Amino acid sequence: MRLTPVIAISLISLAACGERADVAAPSPTEQVAAQAPSSDGVTAAPVVLNADQLRQVCRAALAAVHGQDLSAVQVEGLTGQVVSLSWRAPVDGGVSRAECRVEGDVVTWRLTNTANPDQGRWMNQSGDPVTRFALGGEAVAITTTLPDGTTATEQYAVAAEQEAR
């Protein structure tokens, strides 16, 4: 059988349409980071948080991520859209410090008083846990999704007057 140029081009085109075997499927963290879950029970995150909301969200997120009580996490300052926070380290009694920022409904953070450069980077890379927030009245819900796809949600009551600084 002789292939005409039209048939040859058609076969090559069809072969190119198949799935690529060398492209890995997205990890659970990448899937979560790419698509925000919707909920009827919680108000969607505003596009831009005011300063009080930003401080509330960052306090709650860092408390959830680091297993602290909300009262242990203190806001040290706000520079632009980056919140500086601190809390007592439970192991040695020292002070842990971090910075936090919000992009959409995703909270990213980094430790600022660490000698290890890997621990001082923003936690927003593939393979890092994804931390999302939702505001509902005087409460902040923080949902953390680990790289294996498991999630944990913490709810914090945060009144606006607690954050007025």
At 23 the pLDDT is 52
pTM above 0.85, yes or no: no
**3 state DSSP class of 63:** helix
In this structure, what DSSP letter does residue 24 have? P
pLDDT average, residue stretch 103-110 = 95
Q: What are phi and psi of 30, to 5 degrees?
A: -65, -35
The span from the CA of 93 to the CA of 47, in Å, is 37
pLDDT band at 104 (very low <50, low <70, confident <90, very high): very high
Given a cut of 90, whether residue 107 has pLDDT beyond it is yes
